[in-house]
Amino acid sequence: MTRPALTHDVRVIDTTLRDGSHAMAHQFTEDQVRDTVRALDGAGIEVIEVSHGDGIGGSSFNYGFSRTDELQLIAAAREEARTAKIAVLLVPGIGTADDLRRARDAGADMVRVATHCTEADVSPQHFGVARDLGMEAAGFLMMAHRTTPEDLAKQARIMVDAGCQVPYVTDSAGALLMHEARARFEALVAEVGDEAWIGYHGHQNISLGVANSVIAHEVGVRYIDGSLCALGAGSGNSPTEVLAAVFDRLGIDTGLDVLALLDAAEDVVRPYLPRWPKMDRNAIVQGWAGVYSSFLLHAEQAAERYKVPAHEILRRCGELGYVGGQEDMIIDVALGLADERRPR
């Protein structure tokens, strides 16, 4: 699979309707998806990601049930998008090849296969299915702070050799400092940059998602993710409208209408936000301790149930090194903290 042709210097991918599903507790309605896709498409966004926060097939007891079947949401997004492609996330072990085929039938044009940063070897079969379906294929190396730049590049090599067209430095915890992000971007560009585009997916837990996006472009990264109103896990993603404004100020061509994106954020997304993604104590602890951003709501729910502070749960998860897919362990952490607090 050859890498896709780019019509602009940077391709901003909007993930409001996927990563934002975490912040929405997976309660998106079809009308919200339709309105958001129309606004993003009209503002020039070329790829819009739509699926459960944990990817297709993620609606479950462990990760949270969707209010609306994601295939229905994908089909609605496809109907509303005039020029934008519709992408889905697939986490091997959560989503299956059959889930991907169903998503393709519903209208998905692109898949982003997500693995832990040291486990790219579980992705090749999914890239093979994407190739057979004629889908554009990207690869997420999640929790990218948890391995070295050199090893991350080796994992990107595994994905590219399997057919991945865009391996991503995925800062799932919003933990990467600027020099750490730069080192990872440079390593991937050096390893596979002649064969694939490099992507960056950032979170704002310690407020560096946008800054790291600028560094990414400087190094040669050409796919950069954002979400309207920063709607996403933890303190949210790099805000799409801010990325567009910053790149415009820098004279970097994105093909995006900044004012239209500001309207989309303010008039379409903000009214349905159940909570404004913010850098509060819990979210900052996630970035500081390197905790998977989607743990936030799970930790807050466990905190309320077991009467222990959410930030302590998150910090302990960081100490234990938990990664995406281990959300069920948050309950064990909360129970352990509750037991420590119990009078002896």
Query: Of 137, 72, 80, 58, which Cα lies nearest the Cα of 105?
Result: 72
SS3 286: helix
Q: What length does the chain have?
A: 344
Distance CA 86, CA 76 (A): 10
Residue 200 assigned ligand-binding role: no
84/109 Cα distance (integer angstroms):
9
* Burial bucket for residue 302 (CB in 10 Å: 0-12, 13-18, 19+): buried
* DSSP 3-state of 140: strand
Query: How many whole angstroms separate alpha carbon 56 and alpha carbon 37?
Result: 18
22 is an active site residue: yes
Q: Which of 22, 116, 145, 311 is catalytic?
A: 22
d(CA 214, CA 19): 21
**Does the annotation list 18 as a binding residue?**
yes
DSSP state of 3: P
> Exposed (0-12), middle (13-18) or buried (19+): which is 303, by Cβ within 10 Å?
buried
Q: Which DSSP symbol is given to 14?
A: E
Which residues on adjacent β-strands are paired with residue 170? Answer: 201
Measured in degrees and rounded to the nearest 5, phi and psi for residue 5 equal -75, 140
302-305 long-range Cβ contacts below 8 angstroms, 24+ apart: 302/330, 302/331, 302/333, 302/334, 303/334, 305/334
- The annotation status of 52 as a binding-site residue, yes or no, is no
End-to-end Cα, the chain, rounded Å: 62
Q: Binding site annotation covers 223? A: no
3-state secondary structure of 31: helix
The structure tokens 């990817």 sit at 55
Q: Binding site for Mn(2+): which residues?
A: 19, 201, 203
- The residues annotated with a catalytic role in the active site are 22
Q: Binding site for substrate: which residues?
A: 18-19, 172, 201, 292
